[in-house]
Amino acid sequence: GQSLEQPSEVTAVEGAIVQINCTYQTSGFYGLSWYQQHDGGAPTFLSYNALDGLEETGRFSSFLSRSDSYGYLLLQELQMKDSASYFCAVRDGRGSTLGRLYFGRGTQLTVWP
């Protein structure tokens, strides 16, 4: 089966840097995605890694190590609006090419002024 582990909550102050880790177990790994969700709203796509290494998109970066079944999301220059839940999601590559996503339980990030 599939399982993903991420911390349940993280707190930081404005302007700081925070890293949210995700470890996964999957029988058919294809890629790791990160989504942001405010107050139960739409999961908003942030980043996707299919290959090892770092992907940078503005203040957000995501890293993947397939050999370690590990990834992280790095948020820099934190702002109050970054307070949200962050989910890692594994893209299943078995069988169908459509690729269902398996989500972690989410990390609640609280940014303090």
Partner 1 sequence: EPEVTQTPSHQVTQMGQEVILRCVPISNHLYFYWYRQILGQKVEFLVSFYNNEISEKSEIFDDQFSVERPDGSNFTLKIRSTKLEDSAMYFCASRGLADIQYFGAGTRLSVL
List contacts with partner 1 (CB under 8 A).
30-31, 33, 35, 40-45, 48, 50, 87, 89, 91, 95-96, 98-106
Residue number, 72 or 91, with CB nearest to partner 1: 91
Residue number, 85 or 111, with CB nearest to partner 1: 85
Taking CB atoms within 8 Å and a gap of at least 24, the contacts of 54-63 are: 60/34, 62/32, 62/34
Nearest distance from residue 113's CB to partner 1, in Å? 26
Question: How far lies 46's CA from each of 85, 96, 101, in Å?
Answer: 12, 24, 14
Nearest distance from residue 31's CB to partner 1, in Å? 6
Nearest distance from residue 17's CB to partner 1, in Å? 25
| Matching residue, tokens 């702002």 | 79
Indicate the burial class of 80 (C-beta count within 10 angstroms; 0-12, 13-18, 19 or more).
exposed
Residue number, 34 or 78, with CB nearest to partner 1: 34
